[in-house]
């Protein structure tokens, strides 16, 4: 009987040691999980802040083209030869910023004011403030029929890239 009592006693102590170990492991684990969860939350907040900083930096370096850029177009010569319409002109930067990849578009109209064709050209040079860049915009896809009806054009800047360096 003493043997059974001793065995039960040792099993009880073993159970208590095991329960204590499990309780300690769960406590340490919950603290560790809480720490890891807080660390993940902090990293997410930091990533969001970095994302906002990068977006803010991008907005400072890049912006969409609009009329405040003060880019002006002037045409010095208009030519119609065979099946080609050509405009020779210049882009003048009267603004305070540098622009590049200026996308020009000329819409062609007949005498009734109806649209008959369009032509495009990219000016890849950097346009610094107070600079003037010459361009040649040609429309080789026009047919003789379209050019026979040609009366006027509307030249515009479709888009441009701004970069602060």
**pTM across the whole model:** 0.60
Residues 6+ apart with CB under 8 A from 153: 78, 85, 87, 106, 107, 108, 109
**What count of other Cβ atoms lies within 10 Å of the Cβ of residue 64?**
9
Sheet with 71-81, edge to edge strand ranges: 71-81, 84-93, 132-139
Q: Which residue has the higher pLDDT, 70 or 39?
A: 70
Q: Which residue has the higher pLDDT, 97 or 43?
A: 97
Q: Which residue has the higher pLDDT, 47 or 58?
A: 47
Q: How confident is the model at residue 66 (pLDDT cuts 50, 70, 90)?
A: confident
In total, the chain counts a number of residues equal to 165
Pairwise CA distance, residues 28 & 5, whole Å: 34
Work out the average pLDDT over 75-85: 86
Residue at token pair 């095991």: 18
CATH annotation of 67-162: 2.60.40.1620
């Amino acid at each position: 009987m003493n043997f059974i009592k001793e065995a039960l006693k040792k099993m009880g102590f073993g159970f208590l040691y095991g329960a204590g170990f499990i309780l300690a492991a769960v406590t340490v684990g919950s603290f560790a999980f809480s720490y890891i969860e807080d660390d993940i939350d902090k990293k997410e907040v930091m990533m969001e802040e970095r994302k906002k900083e990068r977006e803010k930096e991008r907005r400072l370096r890049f912006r969409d083209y609009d009329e405040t850029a003060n880019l002006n177009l002037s045409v010095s010569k208009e030519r119609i030869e065979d099946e080609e319409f050509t405009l020779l002109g210049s882009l003048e930067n009267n603004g305070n910023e540098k622009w590049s990849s200026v996308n020009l578009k000329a819409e062609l109209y007949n005498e009734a004011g109806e649209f008959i064709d369009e032509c495009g050209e990219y000016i890849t040079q950097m346009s610094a403030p107070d600079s003037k860049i010459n361009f040649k915009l040609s429309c080789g896809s026009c047919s003789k029929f379209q050019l026979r009806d040609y009366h006027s054009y509307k030249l515009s800047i479709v888009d441009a890239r701004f970069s602060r360096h």
